Amino acid sequence: MNAASDGCAWVTGASSGIGRAVALRLARDGWTVAASARGEDALTELAAAAEATPGRIVPVLCDVADRQQVEKAVEGLVSDHGGVALAVLNAGLYLPDRADELDLDAFGKQVNLNLMGTVGCVGALMPHWLETGKGHLAVVSSVAGYRGLPGSLAYGATKAALINFCEGLRFDFDRLGRKVQVVNPGFVKTPLTDKNNFPMPFLMDVDKAADRLVDGLAGSGFEITFPRRFTYGLKLLRSLPYRLYFPLVARATGK
């Protein structure tokens, strides 16, 4: 993990949930955190919440689904803060869906934000990282990307794509001497999960989740996942043949 002296930390999707908690944890660790989101009021409140920390939070209005805004944001971070040492790409959207009520616009929004927004951020960062010889990337995906789940057609597909994307990046980042990690949380209590109307096993407090994530950034593991009692169980499900997987998940979810 790069040090706070190497540049700022950029956290996308920082107005609420895991992104907000991670930004505050990094500020407590002494980082200058560029916190991105689309909501100015939420970012202003977040910056104020970090005033007593050793670091600071700088609001950066940016819609990561807008390539021009992303490129402008990265240019500003490089010129104003000496570069981006760490990027935690967390911005994401979950809209429940099902085959008999498939909304293509909602599906596209999730693809554009969750997947293409993340890819666009990486694309904007790479020239800077190649020039400076530094760069630590953490992409927040989800255990929903491990295998298909009911009610998660678009969201699960984008998260599976992000996991695969990071796996592919790992080969290039190793060759270039950079660090990439994928973050796969289970259920974390956030405004996103507050919309769920189904049981969420091992629901985790958001501040504890942020601590697990940031602590994992200092480690050597490619994947950061929590809470492990839940996510490791899903890893076992991932290894099941389809003839066992589908009926088991259908019974567990009541679908």
Global pTM reads 0.94
CATH of the domain at 12: 3.40.50.720
Burial 226-253 (b: 16+ CB within 10 A, else e): bbeebbeebeebeeeeeeeeeeebeeee
| Predicted pLDDT at 230 | 87
Specify the 3-state DSSP secondary structure of 136.
strand
Residue 77 has pLDDT above 90, yes or no: yes
Domain count, the chain: 1
Grade residue 85 by pLDDT with cuts at 50, 70 and 90: very high
User: By the 8 A CB rule, do 59 and 46 touch?
Assistant: yes
| Predicted pLDDT at 194 | 61
Q: What angle do CA 120, 121, 123 make, to 5 degrees?
A: 65
Q: Which residues are catalytic?
A: 155
| Predicted pLDDT at 229 | 86
Segment 79-96 shows an average pLDDT of: 94
CA distances from 6 to 28, 31, 134, 146 (A): 17, 10, 8, 34
Look up residue 2 and give its two tokens: 């790069």
Segment 251-255 shows an average pLDDT of: 80
Which residue range(s) make up the domain with 171? Answer: 4-253
Specify the 3-state DSSP secondary structure of 255.
coil
| Predicted pLDDT at 140 | 98
Segment 98-114 shows an average pLDDT of: 96
